[in-house]
Amino acid sequence: MTKPAFDLTGKVALVTGGNGGIGLGMADAMAAAGASIAIWGTNADKNAAAIEQLRGHGVEAEAFVCNVADRDEVDAQMAATLGRFGRIDGCFANAGVSGRGARSFLEITPDEWKRVLSVNLDGVYHTYQAVLRHMVERSEAGDTGGRLVAMSSLASVSGAARSEHYAASKGALNAMTYALAVEFARYGITANAILPGWIATDMTQDAMANQKFAENAGKRIPARRWGAPEDFGGIACYLLSDASAYHSGQLLQIDGGYWRF
């Protein structure tokens, strides 16, 4: 984004999994619009590279090594993040993993099922519960507002064969989003979920490497291209901004029209 669509000066955003892909695309756009950024990621080298990029916008940015599937790590890094920035206005729960190439639902092992849900679902639960304590406390002190944004997937609303564990984790996020939007509206806190389509990231590199699949998928995208991380910058800036204060409880598809075609 060469010109910020919203002025986010004074806002602080936490982006889990923010050191690459869609997470970094959102973080970069919000930084360009003036927001301070905290990113959580498990790879220290990628964290450092992302922070260097974000600080290039002249904003405060810091990275914290955190595995969101570990409750103790989440609580510790939430405390560290609040200690560094003093507040969190928007929490973008983007950290996630894909399924590991099962050829059938019958081949998904209990360990693999737990691995996917521990990050994609439990990780959001841990993160949201920690950040909501802060947001509610702040609201009760007279500083209302807060943004919860979960990274779901079109797999949550379509038949994702051979990825039932991934689809289940994302479908649960949708339901959690609806419930949070209702429960925490009284505090001025909104909750929404983003559903990406086919996006060119590290997570989809195997699919992109399959030329036949990549071409066939591309033909189904009305925009006639796979998405890119920067395509999520606009929605991130909007959801963090005051302009989205009355927008809650929705699933927002960012897919180049794929779902409707």
- Residues with catalytic roles: 166
Residues whose CB falls within 8 Å of the CB of residue 27, separated by 6 or more in sequence, listed in order: 13, 15, 18, 37, 39, 50, 54, 61, 92, 236
Q: What is the DSSP string of 89-113?
A: SEEEE---------SSGGG--HHHH
Q: How far is CA 200 from CA 94, 206, 227, in A?
A: 15, 10, 6
Query: What is the H or E stretch that residue 87 is in?
Result: none
Q: What is the DSSP string of 42-83?
A: S-HHHHHHHHHHHHTTTS-EEEEE--TT-HHHHHHHHHHHHH
Q: How far is CA 163 from CA 56, 66, 76, 166, 169, in A?
A: 38, 25, 32, 5, 10
Query: Scanning the structure block, which residue is given the tokens 């999520």?
Result: 232
How many CA atoms are closer than 13 Å to the CA of 66, on its beta-carbon side? Answer: 32
How many CA atoms are closer than 13 Å to the CA of 63, on its beta-carbon side? Answer: 24
